[in-house]
Amino acid sequence: MSTGPVFDLELAQKALEAQPFSRLLKARITQFGDGEATLVLDIRPELHQQNGYVHGGVLAYAADNALTFAAGAALGPSVLTSGFSIQYVRPAQGTTLTARASVVSAGRRQAVVRVDLKVADDQGAEKLCAVAQGTVLTV
C-alpha cells in the first residue's frame, strides 16, 4: 500500500504540461495508473527525419517519458530515468505515435519498465515500430 501522495491521471497530465519539450512536441498522457502509462503524439512533418520517417529521437523521447510516468504510477511522482535501451523494429510512419509503458518489476526505490511504441495510420491500424526497457529510480 502506498503511503506517498496520490498521483493520478490529472496530476500526470499537469506534470507533462510542465515539461517545455513535451509541450513543444504536443505530447499527451491518455492513460495513467497501476504501473502503466500511455503517451500519445500526433505525427507531423517537423518530427520526421530526411527519409520521411518519425525521427528516432522522437521515439526515444516517447519511450523515456512513458516509462518514467509508468514508474511514477508505481513509485510516486518523484522519479527519474536511470537508463533505458531502445530497439527500432521498423521505420515509424503514420499519423499517431503511441508509447504504452508498463512496470515489469518494482521495489521501494526502483522500477523496471517495458514500452511498446506503435504508429497508427489514418484508419487507426497500429504497427509496432520500437520497443524499449528502462530503469527508473526515486529521487
pLDDT tens, residue by residue, 22-63 = 999 999 999 999 999 999 999 999 999 999 999 999 999 999
Q: How confident is the model at residue 4 (pLDDT cuts 50, 70, 90)?
A: very low
3-state secondary structure of 117: strand
Contact of 87 with 130, CB cutoff 8 Å: yes
Q: Whole-prediction pTM value? A: 0.92
Indicate the DSSP class of residue 102.
E
pLDDT at 3 over 50: no
